Amino acid sequence: MKASSLVCKGCSARYPLEALFACAACFGPLEVAYDGIDDPVGRDAVAAGPPTLWRYRDFLPVDSPGDGLPVGMSPLVPAPRLAEALGLGCDLYVKTETSNPTHSFKDRVVAIAAAKARELGFEALACASTGNLAGATAAAGAALGLPTYIFVPSDLEREKIVAAAAYGSTVFAVDGSYDDVNRLCSELAYERPWAFVNVNMRAYYAEGSKTIALETAEQLDWRAPDRVVAPIASGSLYCKILQGFRQGRAAALIQPGADPVMHGAQGAGCAPVATAFAEGAGDVQPVRPTGIAKSLAIGNPADGVFALDAARATGGTIESAADDEIVDGIRLLASTTGIFTETAGGVTVSVLRRLAERGDIGDHETVVAYVTGDGLKTIDAVSGSLSTVAVPADVDAVDQVLAAAV
């Protein structure tokens, strides 16, 4: 393991590799620092590794992967019909995380946090969640034989609450927003001997998102794409995707080249980072979340300012999509690729559409849109826009309907 310490992203103070929530000096977020992260990593060695995210162990802060669920190696799907529908001449791909054990990218970050929690001696997992993390944490705890405690806003989609409870976890439905839930869990992290995967284990948890970028490059014959479109909630995933491409290139794993242009996507009901980007601001002002994109509904995003830096450093953008645009994005993706995404993916496709309409994407570029969760988790978001045709069990009745539709 090359991980050597935790470092504050605000003031650069260093701490040992322990379960720490934030910098004691400035309360800034912590991330993992490595010794030798730029040392060359052989492609043959990666290819000989397991067909999971643990093939990228050189970039992760864990001594041993342990015996958790198999996570990672999600498909990178060519999307020519989506590109055609958007009027794009580029090579467009969708990296869909719906193939993970609980059907979202959160399985990646939990895999790292859970493995590190066991190294540090924790005997229970917990999390504050907007939905997908609840299921991922509950499933990981069940697979490892650890008790699990899940905290979610009480208005979360019912499907996500039921899915988390199905694994035998204790689910607390908190009266308040995700930011209220997160504050509660931050207090509990000091009181309970639990590994809160996105609180006291957050520095390790975040590292799992880098593996999405490393996988993408491997699936593109070790090239980084020219352009990326990814959702933003806390901002961690968005920032770690860029970091993954940079670290892979520094280790001579990914071919030399420029950083991908990073485009971020938020729902208009909770778009503090998009608002800050549009205003040219250097900080992010908290908001109270609304709208259908509940998995992105973090009104006070911990990595919001770092997401701004990533977008500006790469010549990218951070934009928001209204609820009706999100629904249209979900339906467009499903009808052109066969991939049914939750609302976060609808946000991503909506922003991709806007980039296409503005002519921001070149014909010879390689573009990857990240779909982070399964549409079956947010079925109510699109159910009102869909309909069925009622017919008797009669061939003539079917023919009449089809003839009327011509």
Name the strands in the sheet holding 366-371, side by side, starting at the edge strand that comes first in the sequence: 76-78, 91-96, 366-371, 227-231, 261-267, 317-321
Residue recorded with tokens 């009449």: 400
Are 319 and 357 within one domain? yes
Residue 334 lies in a domain: yes
Are 170 and 254 within one domain? no
Q: How far apart are CA 139 and CA 207, in angstroms?
A: 19
Are 151 and 221 within one domain? no
Residue 223 DSSP SS3:
coil
Are 193 and 220 within one domain? no
User: Last residue of a domain, which of 206, 240, 260?
Assistant: 206
Judged against a pLDDT cut of 90, whether residue 370 lies above it is answered with yes
- Average confidence (pLDDT) over 326-337: 97
- Stated pTM of the model: 0.94
Are 154 and 243 within one domain? no
Is the pLDDT higher at 382 or at 243? Answer: 243
Are 199 and 222 within one domain? no
Judged against a pLDDT cut of 80, whether residue 341 lies above it is answered with yes
Are 157 and 115 within one domain? yes
Judged against a pLDDT cut of 80, whether residue 66 lies above it is answered with no
Are 318 and 233 within one domain? yes
Can you give the pLDDT at residue 7?
97
- Place 406 in a pLDDT band, splitting at 50, 70 and 90: confident
Residue 76 DSSP SS3:
strand
Residue 75 lies in a domain: no
> What angle in degrees, to the nearest 10, is found between the helix axes of 304-314 and 272-279?
50
Are 93 and 240 within one domain? yes
Residue 255 lies in a domain: yes
Are 320 and 246 within one domain? yes
**Burial state string for 161-170 with b = 16 or more CB within 10 A and e = fewer than 16:** bebbeebebe
User: Last residue of a domain, which of 206, 234, 252?
Assistant: 206
User: Last residue of a domain, which of 148, 173, 206?
Assistant: 206
Length of the chain: 406
Q: Is 250 exposed, middle or buried (0-12, 13-18, 19+ CB in 10 A)?
A: middle
Q: How far apart are CA 158 and CA 151, in angstroms?
A: 14
Are 230 and 333 within one domain? yes
**In DSSP terms, which residues pair with 149 in a beta bridge?**
126, 170
Can you give the pLDDT at residue 218?
98
Q: How far apart are CA 120 and CA 62, in angstroms?
A: 10
pLDDT (tens digit per residue) in 148-177: 999 999 988 888 888 899 999 999 999 998
CB neighbour list of residue 235: distance below 8 Å, 6 or more residues apart = 264, 273, 301, 302, 303, 304, 305, 306, 307
Can you give the pLDDT at residue 392?
95
Can you give the pLDDT at residue 131?
83
Identity of residue 55: R
Judged against a pLDDT cut of 80, whether residue 10 lies above it is answered with yes
Q: Are strands 227-231 and 261-267 parallel, antiparallel or unpaired?
A: parallel
Can you give the pLDDT at residue 160?
86
Can you give the pLDDT at residue 133?
95
Are 332 and 188 within one domain? no
Query: 137 is written with which tokens?
Result: 């944490």
Q: What is the maximum alpha-carbon separation in the chain?
A: 76
Q: Tell me which DSSP letter residue 255 carries.
A: P
Residue 225 lies in a domain: yes
Residue 33 lies in a domain: no
Residue 170 DSSP SS3:
strand
Residue 238 lies in a domain: yes
Residue 313 lies in a domain: yes
Mean pLDDT rounded to a whole number for the chain: 95
pLDDT (tens digit per residue) in 196-245: 999 999 999 999 999 999 999 999 999 999 999 999 999 999 999 999 99
For residue 183, give its domain range: 106-206
CATH code where residue 289 lies: 3.40.50.1100
- Work out how many domains the chain is built from and give that number: 2
Residue 390 lies in a domain: no
